[in-house]
Structure 1
């Protein structure tokens, strides 16, 4: 949010194909950054620009100038104002937790939610890392909290493609939760040089965790 309220009046750039991008300075990491935008975000920026031009005819360096005590337009929107307005919005929407208590939402939670949703919807972690401008994969790992549904879907897809030593497809019941749990345990206990053993976990095997 700190980067958002400091966006310059015109933060948009376009590639050779006319696709929009947002150029801005990441203050936390102290570097310039560029991310792709969809048309909804692009249009929102284009609507904001004439509003700023009308209210501050002499011009403002910011896309979001402070609304009060800012006749010159030289100050950007205040972070505390964003927090207050989100609090009011959440209160008006009557957002409650599972116990019926009011929920407090911080601006940074939107970033965490987006990152987690993108990974759960199949966006590769290294793509999210670049989108968020993280210097290392460890910074992005905080968003890699896959839901049970996502894990199960990936497992089902993987399992449907397994074959045994005779080349026959190994079948299992995707709706059997016990099979799912057993498989996760087997992966941890019976790893092999070229993959994972498909024998039932209860059977003895002389080759678990073999190195050669």
Structure 2
């Protein structure tokens, strides 16, 4: 029975009455295909995952003007916030940011900002980032990982060496900071000391990013 609709379903991919796993159906053959054409990282792991196809679909739906509820339905999201990650890609403010972030005098912050400022990225890498800027968007900025490095799997991207953000994300940074402060108070009331420390760490990271963006904007 489908959990969302309540309809009875007949499954297609079964073996002796048991469902075949997503890993068997997708990740295993996809890994074999990647290795066959050389899409692997330095450790021999394939650089394209099944989840990336979902992200591509969400991105394409948003860029072509699909409604939020349509994106939610297609991707099976239960919360609008999950689909907003894709919807925001078409935000005109982000488009202006895209045109400015890699240009001369761009205001950027984050661990990856220095690599852009000092030219440590190759010309090819910069061209790839320009072309794929929308697809590298995170909640509070962008990931500068290149295709040969594989998909970003870092949950702590605020301190990841490839993370960069710009003034266009300042409102989101402040919103996230306010959420983290509420989570700190909630964790304190519950006596969860480790959770308090974790959220306080995130607040400090966001504060550093906001200060760096302000300094860059003022020319300091």
Could you tell me the TM-score, scaled by structure 1's length?
0.36
| Highest RCO, 1 vs 2 (Cα 8 Å, sep ≥ 6) | 2
Q: Which is strand-richer, 1 or 2? A: 1
Q: Which is helix-richer, 1 or 2? A: 2
Pick the structure with greater CA Rg.
Answer: 1
Could you tell me the TM-score, scaled by structure 2's length?
0.35
